[in-house]
Structure 1
Amino acid sequence: MKNFLVKFSTIILLLLVIRPVSANVSLVVLGDSLSAGYGMSKSVSWVGILERRWQDTQPDVELVNASISGETTQGALRRLPGVIERHQPQAVFVELGGNDGLRGFSLATVRDNLNQIIDQLQQRDIVVGLSQIQIPPNYGKRFTEMFAAMYPELAEENNIRLVPFFMEQIAVDADLMQNDGIHPNEQAQETIANIMEPLLLELVAQARKEKSEAS
């Protein structure tokens, strides 16, 4: 009887250790100030809100905010290998390009950087979601239209999910924007979290499916 209890306890302990690891899905948000929570603590950003929410509703999902205010596609491309190595994600949501557009960077350069980011992720069988990005119309009609069109083209070319730009629903409400007219304020973060949650969960579901098929 004693040996049975020891063996039974050992099995239970192994299950407690092994099951969370095998079931775990890591989702990284690779973005700029819109996801980093510019002007506020990361903990109150929309990603931080989802991270706390998912501790109860999605306990097998690790949500990592690897966003940096002021980030460009080139900067994210440089640090991507380190992000992958550190967090070992099964899915990555890419929210980048806004700073490139605001600085008037070449569209060819932005496209190439995004393509390289997507390629590095796909080579590691990581599910990729790409956020649509738009820049203010004062940069000229032709440039802003070409910039916006680049994202669905990249999504189609790479066969990845294009995620609608959450700022479309936020920027039209002055009460949800900071004084600079570019960044959402703290009040907007809950709204953004509600917009993004079902979209990110689609990436999680895809990652779960591919992980299951590979095992």
Structure 2
Amino acid sequence: MAENTILVIGDSLSAAYGIEPKQGWVALLQEKLTKEKFDYRVINASVSGDTTSNGLARLPAALKKYQPDITIIQLGANDGLRGLDTAVIKKNLEQMIALAKKEKSKVLVLGIRLPTNYGPQYTTQFEQIFTGLAKRKDIHVVSLLLKGIDENIIHFQADGLHPTAAAQPIIVANVWFQLSGLLRKNNN
């Protein structure tokens, strides 16, 4: 069993919605960690449809159960798609960060960009949640999880919201850029 644990708490983007779980970026991340000789076990506690409120409610039990060295928070997309108050989204994410840090877990937050049909004011406020979090010195942030994907519809399933299996390695690369600095190499 792996010495260290990475907990991913997210929504359908991390739950491999519409594709085989083994094709999703979380499973591919586990493969990359193993290949790169990092002794980590990745726990995917993602639930399709989850909001930051759902994640906040579920996080304490997950932290207690898995005691992760690193907590990856990939939530906010469903909040944004529902047009929820950005102040509430930000507060929920900040509470999740505080809970993880209280348990001595390093934190990586994964942000997204909303479709433009939500209007410039709301989309700007939404994006500022993640750019604001990125300015904190005590966490790591990937401001655009779907960078290199959300610019081209070919990377999406028929619903236009969920990336295809072929797009998942791009997501892993986007996450790896920030995650790699948090990892400890196995010295065996």
Structures share fold, TM-score greater than 0.5: yes
Amino acid at match of 1:109: V
Describe how 1:1-215 pairs up with structure 2 within 5 A.
24-157=3-136, 159-205=138-184
Shift of 1:158: 6.5
Q: Distance in 1 between matches of 2:118 and 2:178?
A: 29
- The question of whether the paired residues in 2 share the 8 Å contact of 1:25 and 1:204 is answered with no
Shift of 1:149: 0.7
| Partners of 1:27 and 1:204 within 8 A in 2 | no
- 2: CA distance between counterparts of 1:64 and 1:202? 19
Rounded Cα–Cα distance in structure 1 between residues aligned with 2:174 and 2:137: 24
Q: Could you tell me how far apart the structure 2 residues matched to 1:26 and 1:56 are?
A: 16
The 2-side partners of 1:80 and 1:96 are apart by 12
Distance 2:116 2:138 in 1: 28
Letter in 2 for 1:55: T
User: Comparing both chains, which one has the higher relative contact order based on Cα–Cα distances under 8 Å and sequence gaps of 6 or more?
Assistant: 2
Alignment match, 1:4: none
* 3-state SS in 2 of match to 1:169: coil
Q: Deviations over 1:72-96 (max 9, x none)?
A: 0000011101111221101111111
Which 4+ runs in 1 deviate beyond 3 A?
A: none
The letter of the residue matching 1:30 is I
Structure 1 residue 157: Cα displacement? 4.5
Question: Does the residue aligned with 1:82 lie in a helix, a strand or coil?
Answer: helix
For residues 103 and 168 of structure 1, the distance between their equivalents in structure 2, rounded to whole angstroms, comes to 22
Q: Is the 8 A contact 1:102 1:135 kept in 2?
A: yes
Structure 1 gaps, min length 5: 1-19, 209-215
Distance 1:99 1:131 in 2: 13
Residue type at the aligned position of 2:104: D
TM-score by length of 1: 0.79
Alpha-carbon separation, structure 2, partners of 1:123 and 1:194: 28
Q: How many residues align?
A: 185
Name the amino acid aligned to 2:81: L
Q: Which amino acid aligns with 2:69?
A: Q
SS in 2 for 1:71: coil
CA distance in 1 between counterparts of 2:143 and 2:90 reads 18
CA-CA distance at 1:195 after TM superposition: 3.1
Cα distance change of structure 1 residues 164 and 115 upon mapping to structure 2, 3 Å threshold: closer
- Identity value in percent: 34
